[in-house]
Amino acid sequence: MPSGRRLDLLDPTPFDWDDSDLALGLARTYRWGGHSAWPLPLSVAQHSLTVMHVRASACAAMDLQLSPVSALRELLHDAEEGLLGFDCVSPLKPFMGEAFKTLTLKLEAAVFLRYGLPRWTAKEHAAHKLADRLAAASEAVHVAGWSAQEVQQTLKINVPPLSDDPLHAIYGGTPWEPWPPALAAERFLAELTRLKQLSA
């Protein structure tokens, strides 16, 4: 790791990385197989921030507030991909086999243990998956260049893409444009640090 720590992917522990390692790993791990209609691909770090804010907005629409711990869990929902350095595109997952699934679950368990995250309840996980699908549908259209019809028919994502980028109101810039890795890492790390402090 850049911090000097060593991660054994086959036998991970919660002490094998620091927060900056994770932020950089997620910022250098790309969604959509690295394909993008923009000059840069979309990082898992930026996607993770999007999912967290979509979930928070859904709670706000119901006059509820997403707790810091729940927001942290949303932010870290793909953290194992940053440690692995690989975001497997969905069509390939059935071919990766049980060994790959076991590997990712071990990494996820180490992440949850390190950050003190509770396991998902069925209701929480359903709400999370809706936010994740909304982010994916929106990224497919605004980042990867799919049409809304292709998102439904080919990708089988049956939620409409968002028109407004949830991150634009917070960070500015051009809506839906993928950030450079250093910027994505910086913003992810700042949010991770903030939520850890609120959750302590």
pLDDT for 99 equals 92
pLDDT digits (tens, 9 = 90+) for 110-146: 999 999 999 999 999 999 999 999 999 999 999 999 9
Task: Sketch the domain layout of the chain as residue ranges.
Answer: 19-199
pLDDT digits (tens, 9 = 90+) for 26-51: 999 999 999 999 999 999 999 999 99
| 16 phi and psi angles, rounded to 5 deg | -90, -5
Distance CA 107, CA 119 (A): 14
Tokens of 155: 């990708």
Cβ atoms of 9 and 83 closer than 8 Å: yes
pTM reported for the whole predicted model: 0.96
Tokens of 152: 């439904």
Secondary structure of 41-95 in the HEC alphabet? CCEHHHHHHHHHHHHHHHHHHCCCCCCHHHHHHHHCCCHHHHHHCCCCCHHHHHH
| 43 phi and psi angles, rounded to 5 deg | -85, 155
pLDDT for 147 equals 94
pLDDT digits (tens, 9 = 90+) for 68-112: 999 999 999 999 999 999 998 888 888 999 999 999 999 999 999
pLDDT digits (tens, 9 = 90+) for 158-180: 999 999 999 999 999 999 999 99
- Give the domain 19-199 fold: Hypothetical protein af1432 (1.10.3210)
Model confidence band, residue 18 (pLDDT cutoffs 50, 70, 90): very high
Helix axes 68-75, 122-142, angle to 10 degrees: 50
pLDDT for 65 equals 95
Distance CA 70, CA 58 (A): 13
